[in-house]
Amino acid sequence: MLLDLMVTRLRQTLQLVRPTAKAMSWRPVIWAAVLASVYVWKEAPGAYIDYRVLVLRVSALLACMGAAFVLDDATEDTISHVPCPLLLRRALRVALLLPLVAATWFLLVYLAGDVAPRDGGPVPVGDITLEAATLLATALAAACIGARVTSDRLGGVAAAPILLAVASAALFLPGNYKLIVSVGDPRWANVHDFWRTALIVAVVVFVYVNRSPGAYRTMSRLRALRPASRPI
């Protein structure tokens, strides 16, 4: 039973790849990537390490705001009855997006360059990538939430202010609660442990928001069919 279901889902996914790629909103993603690349190219080279890290963070925010639009689907209500789950359809969009996002991030890091150890380097690319991945997962989860509350099911526009609010909170939290710190700050390791947790939470929210209502209705019907327990 489980194997048959997995085979069926795989076939559905393969059949959906081409039409999904054609239906996705690529233009905001590409324009955001171009804007982020120009920004890094203009600002990062020759700068000191903390400013390079700041530029990478801002460019990641720009790229993630554009990436949120790939989940926009104006036909979502008309195809909600199809047997392919909503989570699978949106996960496919994310899978098609990831190669472009990865290439963009590689370009941004390359344009930013590195800093010699005598000047405080190297740039902590791994931890900054973790921050960028968390922002991306947050943007996608926010877009899914926005799609549930907007009339046209276009959550990309709603994701931008949510993402800006999250980034602002991370920057302006007071004292030891601050989530954006300078390179060399003694709280760096602990802060990025929190970023890892935030990434997991964002992925869980993405999965939860994209649960298929039909599946939950089916579970409710199955529970209703259970015989009521008789008192002894």
Sketch the domain layout of the chain as residue ranges: 11-223
State the pLDDT confidence band at 228, using cuts at 50, 70 and 90.
Answer: very low
Render pLDDT for 60-112 as a digit per residue (tens, 0 to 9): 999 999 999 988 876 555 445 556 678 888 888 999 999 999 999 999 999 99
Is the pLDDT reported for residue 226 higher than 80?
no
The sign of the dihedral angle between the CA atoms of 203, 206, 209, 210 is negative
Query: Taking Cα atoms as reference points, which of 143, 175, 166, 168 lies closest to residue 69?
Result: 143
CB atoms within 10 A of CB 224: 7
Is the pLDDT reported for residue 145 higher than 90?
no
Q: Write the CB contacts of 129 (distance below 8 Å, at least 6 apart in sequence).
A: 105, 109
Residues 106-119 have a mean pLDDT of: 87
Q: What is the pLDDT at residue 51?
A: 92
Pick from 101-105, 133-137, 145-149: least confident: 145-149
Give the separation between CA 206 and CA 95, rounded to whole angstroms: 14
Give the separation between CA 205 and CA 142, rounded to whole angstroms: 9
